[in-house]
Amino acid sequence: MNDFRLALPEDVAELEALSALPVPGGWIDLSYARSFGHCREQVLRGRLKTGEMAAIALRSLPLLWRRGQARRIGYLGGLRVHPRLQGRNLLAEGFALLRRVHEADPVEEYLATIVEGNHLAERLLVERARPGWPKFFPSGVLCTLALETKPCAFSAGPPPSWSHTQDYFPCEAPLEFGERRWWLEHQGVAGCLRDLSQTRHTRVAAYHGPLRWLRTSYNLWQRLWRRPQLPSPGARLKGGYVGFFRSDGLRPQAFGGWLRSMLGLAHSLGLDWLYLGLAEGDAYLPVARRFRHRLYRSRIFRVRYQGQPEPLPEGPPYLELAWL
Ligand SMILES: CC(C)(COP(=O)(O)OP(=O)(O)OC[C@H]1O[C@@H](n2cnc3c(N)ncnc32)[C@H](O)[C@@H]1OP(=O)(O)O)[C@@H](O)C(=O)NCCC(=O)NCCS
């Protein structure tokens, strides 16, 4: 029998090694290392009967605003089966564990994302979900921008008063272990920079194709313009997350000024990248895209177990990027 259960402290080292395994990309393989020692999420893990750690997934239950009321809504993420052990039907065992965990402490709904182009995950989780698995309902597209930081004057301040009750916006903003945070507010646009580098490292695992030999000249060019360079294999991408972002969506000009200051703040902290998540169709997205960036698209899902009514169509939910 394989052993699927919630993780215990003795599992942490193996789970960290599993989650840091490189994710193959076109020209760049990335590794998303995380430490699980102090994480707030529930960590579901699966070990084969041979003893190998094979699968991991994360479940968190933040308190979010829903129609003006504080509700616990789930986030599902971090699903990974060891590349060598995929195709052995472990997903079914993982979902059986998720069901047990869910039934012990149920919530009406979860949010989840799948990176566009991950056809296998979409096929398995969305199109061919088995009876007893939760159903994934499409709920828009999240555009994640990795923005190049650059020098600019800024003035960080205290956290703004917490009266924002937009649907799916967090009711509270607890610091994660080792997190550093700076708040910026500008003409009705507010949010913070979250530096989670104590517990999360994105590293370049390998370069492929022409990038292997083009990197040196590309870096020379980037250095000339004081822009972020491509780190050597094994080195970290230095980035921070925009968090708890709020505005009424009607101030594109103020948003542009706010974002420029955020990029200056991130640059002053030695970060090369600022990660910002906006829904496709957000009026601020075209403004953000005027800054130098790479764009990653993910499909957003509202996830419900059978027995819950199907969600009514709504706009895409607010998502706190660092929680995904
Ligand atoms: C997506 C993922 C979690 C699936 O895990 P898995 O253990 O391979 O899935 P299972 O073995 O339970 O697969 C179930 C089905 O998919 C098929 N399958 C699994 N891997 C496959 C592959 N690489 N190519 C084609 N089919 C595959 C299985 O044969 C099985 O088919 P069946 O239902 O007809 O028997 C795993 O591929 C993975 O970790 N991918 C990388 C990270 C990722 O994409 N996470 C999802 C983020 S939302």
Domains and CATH numbers, the chain: 3-323 (3.40.630.170)
Q: Is the pLDDT of residue 214 over 80?
A: yes
Average pLDDT, the chain: 94
Over residues 54-100, the pLDDT tens digits come to 999 999 999 999 999 999 999 999 999 999 999 999 999 999 999 99
Q: Mean pLDDT, to the nearest integer, of 188-202?
A: 94
- Contact (Cβ atoms closer than 8 angstroms) between residue 96 and residue 131: no
Evaluate: CB of 56 within 6 angstroms of ligand 1. Answer: no
The 3-state DSSP class for residue 244 equals strand
* pLDDT single digits (tens) 168-184: 999 999 999 999 999 99
pLDDT digits (tens, 9 = 90+) for 238-262: 999 999 999 998 999 999 999 999 9
pLDDT given for residue 26 in this prediction: 82
Do 267 and 149 touch, CB atoms closer than 8 A?
Answer: yes
State whether residue 167 is helix, strand or coil. Answer: coil
CB neighbours of residue 102 within 10 Å: 17
Q: What is the pLDDT of residue 324?
A: 85
Cβ of residue 79 lying under 6 Å from some atom of ligand 1: yes
| Alpha-carbon dihedral sign for residues 236, 181, 167, 59 | positive
54 lines ligand 1 (CB under 6 A): no
- pLDDT for the residue 308: 85
Give the ligand 1 atom nearest the CA of 80. 39
Residue 11 has pLDDT above 80, yes or no: yes
Task: Report the separation in Å between the CA atom of 121 and the middle of ligand 1, taken as the mean of its atom positions.
Answer: 7
Q: Using only C-alpha atoms, what is the Rg of the chain?
A: 20
Strands 110-115 and 74-81: parallel
- 56, 80, 84, 86: residue to mutate for ligand 1 pocket, most atoms within 8 A of CB: 86
Please report the pLDDT score of residue 306 as a whole number: 84
pLDDT of residue 234: 94
Whether residue 66 contacts residue 85, with contact meaning beta carbons closer than 8 Å, is answered with: no
- Give the residue, by CA position, lying nearest to ligand 1 atom 36: 81
* pLDDT at residue 104 in the model: 97
**Per-residue pLDDT, 97:** 98
**Ligand 1, atom 40: nearest CA belongs to which residue?**
80
Q: Which atom of ligand 1 is nearest to the CA of 118?
A: 44
**pLDDT confidence of residue 51:** 95
For residue 82, the model assigns a pLDDT of 96
Report residue 1's pLDDT band, with 50, 70 and 90 as the boundaries.
confident
pLDDT of residue 64: 96
Residue-wise pLDDT tens digits, 16-40: 999 999 988 888 999 999 999 888 8
pLDDT tens-digit map of 98-117: 999 999 999 999 999 999 99
- Position 163 scores a pLDDT of 77
Distance CA 280, CA 286 (A): 10
Structure-block tokens of residue 138: 């499409």
Q: How confident is the model at residue 219 (pLDDT cuts 50, 70, 90)?
A: very high
- The response to whether residue 300 sits with its C-beta less than 6 Å from ligand 1 reads no
Residue 283 predicted with pLDDT over 90: yes
